[in-house]
C-alpha cells in the first residue's frame, strides 16, 4: 500500500471523530455558522490563515510553503439537508428535520484530514487554499463565494472537488473528462385565475385545471424535442393550490427542476417551457408569471487536468482503484460555477451499496475518509511540486 495512504489510514479515527461531530450537528444552506466555526478553529490550530464569512458562511484556509507563486484550491461542501434522518447510528443527527444525508460531513472530514497532514509535512511548494463551501444543496454557495471575491482574494490556478456516490464501488475514484453533471434550473410558475365556490365553477377561471394541463404539456418537451442520445429532464416537483375541496383557488404554483447536459439543450428546453406556459395560460384564460432561478451550469471537467488527477489517484491508490471514464449524472453541482472561472476537476468516490444520497437512511462510509484525504494530499503535492 502507498505510504501516503498508510499515513492517512492511521488518522482514520480522528477524521471519523470530526465527521461524527459534524453529522450530529447538521446545519442547512447559509446557516452553517457553528459548522464554519468548528472547521475554522481546527484549521487555525494547525497554522492556516483562515478567513471566515466568505459568501456568507464559507471558510477559506490558506497555507503557503516555500517560494513558488503557484496556488490551487481544494473544495469541500459543508451544508446539510432538511431531511429527517432515519438511521439508528450512534452519531445520528441531534437536530430534528435536518441531517447530513448527502455526505458533506464526510467531504469536510476528508479535506480536514488532508489539511492536517499538509500542515505537518509541508510537502509542497506554493499555496493551497482549502475551500469549505456552504449551500451546495441550493446551488447558491459557489456563486456567493465567487461574488464575494473568492478568486480575487485567494488567487489560484486550478480548483478541485469530490463527491461520494452510492452504487459506485466503495473506495474507488471515478474520473471523466468534459461534461460530467447537468445544469439545473429551478423555476416557479404561478398561474392566476379567478377563484370561486366549488359549486359554481362557471364563475371561476380555474388555475388548478390550467396547472394540471400544463404539467402534462411540459412532459412533451424532452420526449418530443430532445434527441434520444441527448439528456434532459423536466420535473414538476410541487403543485401548490388551494386549501379546501369546496373552494376553487385564485392561484396555482408549479415548482420545476429542469436539467440539461449541454448548453444548447438547456436553451432549447427553457425556451420550450416559456412557450408552452404562455400557450397553456392563454388556452385556459389564466395569467402567468415565470420566476426563473439562478442560471444553471453544466459541470465540465478540464480534460488535461482530469487525466493528470486520474494518474495521481492511480499512483496513490493503485490501478484497480481508479475508473476512467467514470459515469456522468443528471444531478447538479454548483462546483460547475468554479469550473467556469478556473480549470476544474471533479471526481466521485464510491460509497458502495448504500441508500442513495438524500435518502433518510443514507450515511457516508467512514472507510472512505483516508482514501479521499490521501487523494487530496497527492493533488496538492503534484500541482504544487
Domain boundary among 264, 291, 318: 291
Range of the domain at 200: 183-291
For residue 245, count other CB atoms closer than 10 A to its CB. Answer: 6
Q: What pLDDT does 57 receive?
A: 98
Please identify, among 255, 273, 291, the residue that sits at the C-terminal boundary of a domain.
Answer: 291
**pLDDT value of residue 1:** 56
Same domain, 188 and 166: no
Residue 297 dihedral angles phi and psi, to the nearest 5°: -145, 135
- Is residue 148 located within the same domain as residue 41? yes
33 assigned to a ligand binding site: no
Q: What pLDDT score was predicted for residue 263?
A: 85
Task: Tell me how far apart the alpha carbons of residues 317 and 176 are, in angstroms, rounded to a whole number.
Answer: 17
Query: 250 near 207, Cβ under 8 Å?
Result: yes
Q: Please, are residues 286 and 183 in contact by the beta-carbon 8 Å criterion?
A: no
Q: Is 102 annotated as a binding residue?
A: yes
How far apart CA 314 and CA 385 sit, in angstroms, is: 18
Query: Do 171 and 106 contact (CB within 8 A), yes or no?
Result: no
Enumerate residues 6+ apart whose C-beta is below 8 A from 275. Answer: none
User: CB atoms < 10 A from the CB of 83, how many?
Assistant: 20
The answer to whether 36 and 109 have CB atoms below 8 angstroms apart is no
- 289 belongs to an annotated ligand binding site: no
Domain count, the chain: 2
Find where cell 493551497 sits.
Answer: 128
Adjacent-strand bridge partners of 8:
none
Instruction: Please tell me whether 129 is known to bind a ligand.
Output: no
Same domain, residue pair 153 and 128:
yes
70 with 141, same domain: the answer is yes
CATH number of the CATH domain containing 152: 3.40.630.10
Q: How far apart are CA 190 and CA 94, in angstroms?
A: 37
**Grid cell 373552494 in the structure block, residue:** 247
In terms of domains, do 103 and 123 share one?
yes
**Residue 275: CATH number of its domain:** 3.30.70.360
**Is 341 assigned a ligand-binding role in the annotation?**
no
Q: Do residues 136 and 322 lie in contact, with contact meaning Cβ atoms separated by under 8 Å? A: no
Residues with Cβ within 8 Å of residue 83, at least 6 apart in sequence? 97, 98, 99, 101, 358, 360
Q: Which of 239, 270, 291 is the last residue of a domain?
A: 291
Report the pLDDT value the prediction gives residue 343, as an integer from 0 to 100: 98
CB atoms within 10 A of CB 148: 15
269 shares its domain with 328: no
pLDDT at res. 328: 95
Same domain, 287 and 338: no
Low-confidence ranges of the chain (pLDDT < 50): none
pLDDT tens for each residue of 316-326:
999 999 999 99
Q: Supply the pLDDT for residue 152.
A: 98
- Residues 244, 325 within the same domain: no
Amino acid at each position: 500500500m502507498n505510504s501516503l495512504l498508510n499515513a492517512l489510514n492511521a488518522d482514520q479515527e480522528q477524521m471519523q471523530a470530526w465527521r461524527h461531530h459534524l453529522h450530529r450537528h447538521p446545519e442547512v444552506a447559509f446557516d452553517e455558522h457553528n459548522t464554519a466555526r468548528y472547521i475554522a478553529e481546527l484549521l487555525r490550530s494547525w497554522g492556516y490563515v483562515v478567513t471566515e464569512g466568505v459568501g456568507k458562511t464559507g471558510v477559506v484556509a490558506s497555507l503557503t510553503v516555500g517560494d513558488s507563486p503557484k496556488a490551487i484550491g481544494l473544495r469541500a461542501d459543508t451544508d446539510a439537508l432538511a431531511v429527517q434522518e432515519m438511521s439508528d447510528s450512534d452519531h445520528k443527527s441531534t437536530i430534528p428535520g435536518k441531517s447530513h444525508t448527502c455526505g458533506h460531513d464526510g467531504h469536510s472530514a476528508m479535506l480536514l484530514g488532508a489539511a492536517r497532514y499538509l500542515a505537518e509535512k509541508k510537502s509542497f511548494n506554493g499555496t493551497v487554499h482549502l475551500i469549505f463551501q456552504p449551500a451546495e444543496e441550493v446551488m447558491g454557495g459557489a456563486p456567493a463565494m465567487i461574488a464575494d471575491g473568492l478568486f480575487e482574494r485567494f488567487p489560484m490556478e486550478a480548483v478541485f472537488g469530490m463527491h461520494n456516490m452510492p452504487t459506485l464501488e466503495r473506495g474507488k475514484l471515478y474520473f471523466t473528462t468534459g461534461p460530467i453533471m447537468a445544469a439545473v434550473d429551478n423555476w416557479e410558475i404561478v398561474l392566476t385565475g379567478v377563484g370561486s365556490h366549488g359549486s359554481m365553477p362557471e364563475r371561476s377561471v380555474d388555475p388548478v385545471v390550467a396547472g394540471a394541463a400544463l404539467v402534462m404539456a411540459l412532459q412533451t418537451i424532452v420526449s418530443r424535442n430532445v434527441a434520444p442520445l441527448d439528456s434532459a429532464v423536466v420535473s414538476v416537483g410541487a403543485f401548490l393550490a388551494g386549501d379546501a375541496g369546496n373552494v376553487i383557488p385564485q392561484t396555482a404554483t408549479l415548482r420545476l427542476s429542469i436539467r440539461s447536459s449541454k448548453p444548447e439543450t438547456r436553451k432549447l428546453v427553457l425556451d420550450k417551457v416559456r412557450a408552452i406556459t404562455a400557450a397553456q395560460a392563454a388556452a385556459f384564460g389564466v395569467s402567468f408569471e415565470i420566476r426563473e432561478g439562478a442560471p444553471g451550469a453544466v459541470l465540465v471537467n478540464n480534460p488535461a487536468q482530469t487525466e493528470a488527477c486520474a494518474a495521481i489517484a492511480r499512483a496513490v491508490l493503485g490501478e484497480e482503484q481508479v475508473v476512467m471514464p467514470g459515469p456522468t449524472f443528471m444531478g447538479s453541482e454548483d462546483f460547475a460555477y468554479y469550473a467556469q472561472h478556473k480549470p476544474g476537476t471533479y471526481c466521485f468516490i464510491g460509497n458502495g451499496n448504500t441508500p442513495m444520497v438524500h435518502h433518510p437512511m443514507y450515511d457516508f462510509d467512514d472507510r472512505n475518509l483516508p482514501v479521499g484525504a490521501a487523494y487530496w494530499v497527492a493533488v496538492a503535492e503534484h500541482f504544487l511540486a
